Amino acid sequence: MKPIIDLKNLCKSYGSHIAVDKLNLQIERGEIFGLLGPNGAGKTTSILMMLGLTEPDSGSAIVCGHDASRDPIEVKRKVGYMPDNLGFYPQLTGLENLLYIARLNAMPEKGIAEYARGMMELVGLGAASDKPASTYSRGMKQRLGLAEVLIKAPELIILDEPTLGIDPAGVKEFLELIKSLQREQGLTVLLSSHHLHHVQQVCDRVGIFVEGKLLATGDLPTLSSELFASTGIEILIQLTRLPKDADALKSNFSGWPEINSMNVNGDRLQFNTTGEITPKLIRRIIELGEDIRAVSQKQYGLDEIYEKYFENNTNITLDNESIKRKPLFGNRRK
Ligand SMILES: Nc1ncnc2c1ncn2[C@@H]1O[C@H](COP(=O)(O)OP(=O)(O)OP(=O)(O)O)[C@@H](O)[C@H]1O
């Protein structure tokens, strides 16, 4: 099946500033794809080119089977776009705002009110349908924006910074809603964000976008293994007590080709390895007469992936979360 978004060598400059530099990207139907990058990376410019709202200098953007530059009306018919700056008529209710958009999309009058009410329910605004949009919280406004995008039953929705300014509980609910739309309606979603954790929670694949260039795409395990292949895997094994003879224990692993380094620190054994050899290590340690309390492996999240790309770039702000350790099992006694 052809990708729903197919970008080839897409370029756009503003004067001498290159906003998007040879962007190649394919997004499959049914995917949630996150375009991740700091402010000014070129995310919005790329989205505008996909929608035919700005002309690329070169390259092509085929979206839902149509060339966005040559056939922007067809693209707009099939794609729902939620910009980062949403605007509503504040004096109208949420439902009235939605009806207004439905009519702008030339929806037939028959059944339109029921359909719009159903859409308000779907996005979790059923109880607030008849309240003025001016009374909506930022999170409710994002939901109303989503309802406006969904009302025309698009094949693809593009959301520019959809979680901007929403509180953490609102973000979680909004992302769960996106995920359920994908699951239940098979919707394809492209969302842009500079919030790593938001993207991490919901996206099947992400693209890391910096200074107009897409540096990498993939799911998190793929990005992680590509990036950290040279760094190795860190495995931590905690014993139930201090080893009987730390040096003797260490010497047992000295000839293993998969082990880059090993440290014995009290009751903790730290291994840096070239591959996933945790079961093999556990078996050997038990054979040597030691008991294991817990095993964990360093897990790389988007923070570390992001940092790895931008470690020399001090202008990039990262959400602060330290490297997580994923327990493989804990408190096990033999
Ligand atoms: N109409 C324009 N005229 C001149 N420069 C522009 C224009 N639109 C965007 N730019 C510049 O192009 C670069 C990419 O901007 P863009 O808005 O696409 O980035 P972004 O990743 O969406 O960031 P943000 O989240 O801050 O919107 C920025 O340096 C921006 O200043």
DSSP assignment string, 229-259:
TTT-EEEEEEESS--S-HHHHHHTTTT-TTE
Q: Which fold does the domain 225-329 belong to in CATH? A: Alpha-Beta Plaits (3.30.70)
- What CATH number matches the domain at 5-218, 3.30.230.10, 3.40.50.300, 3.40.50.12780, 1.10.10.60? 3.40.50.300
Ligand 1 pocket residue status of 269, Cβ below 6 Å: no
Tell me if residue 128 falls in helix, strand or coil.
helix
Considering only CA atoms, give the Rg of the chain: 25
Give the closest residue (by CA) to ligand 1 atom 25. 39
Instruction: Give the pLDDT of residue 321.
Output: 33
pLDDT at 63 over 90: yes
Read off the pLDDT of residues 83-142 as tens digits, 9 standing for 90 and up.
988 889 999 999 999 999 999 988 889 999 999 999 999 999 999 999 999 999 988 999
Taking the centre of ligand 1 as the mean of its atom positions, its distance from the CA of residue 11, in whole angstroms, is 13
CA distance 40 to 46: 11
Atom of ligand 1 nearest to the CA of 37: 21
Instruction: Tell me the pLDDT tens digit for each residue of 197-223.
Output: 778 789 999 998 888 999 888 887 777
Please tell me whether the interface predicted TM-score (ipTM) of this complex is above 0.90. Answer: yes
Contact 298, 323 (CB under 8 A): yes
pLDDT at 324 over 80: no
For the segment 229-233, the average pLDDT, to the nearest whole number, is 74
Share of the chain above pLDDT 90, in %: 62
Residue nearest to atom 8 of ligand 1 (CA): 45
- The residue to mutate among 10, 17, 213, having the most atoms of ligand 1 within 8 angstroms of its beta carbon, is 17
pLDDT digits (tens, 9 = 90+) for 150-165: 998 999 999 999 988 8
Residue count of the chain: 334
Sequence-ordered list of residues with C-beta below 8 angstroms from that of 139, at least 6 positions apart, any chain: 166, 167, 170, 171, 173, 174
Whole-number pLDDT of residue 309 = 66
What pLDDT band is residue 148 in, cutting at 50, 70 and 90?
Answer: very high
Domain edges within the chain:
5-218, 225-329
CA of 39 to the centre of ligand 1 (A): 8
Asked whether 35 lines ligand 1 (CB < 6 A), one says no
Alpha helices in the chain (DSSP H): 43-50, 72-78, 94-104, 112-122, 138-150, 168-185, 196-202, 220-228, 246-251, 278-287, 302-310
The pLDDT of residue 331 is above 70: no
Residue pair 175/202 in contact (Cβ under 8 Å)? The answer is yes
320 lines ligand 1 (CB under 6 A): no
Write down the residue that tokens 């770039």 correspond to.
Answer: 313
**Residue 317's pLDDT band (cuts 50, 70, 90):** very low
Q: Which of these, 122, 246, 257, lies nearest to 176 by C-alpha position?
A: 122
User: Is residue 175's pLDDT more than 80?
Assistant: yes
Query: What pTM was estimated for this model as a whole?
Result: 0.76
Instruction: Confirm or reject: Cβ of 207 under 6 Å from ligand 1.
Output: no
Confidence at residue 320, expressed as pLDDT on a 0 to 100 scale: 32
Find residue 89's DSSP bridge partners.
Answer: none
Distance 159 CA to ligand 1 centre (A): 16
Q: What is the mean pLDDT of the chain?
A: 86
Looking at the DSSP bridge assignments, the partners of residue 193 are 36
For 103, the token pair is 């009519």
Q: Distance from the CA of 53 to the center of ligand 1, in angstroms?
A: 14
Q: What is the pLDDT of residue 229?
A: 67
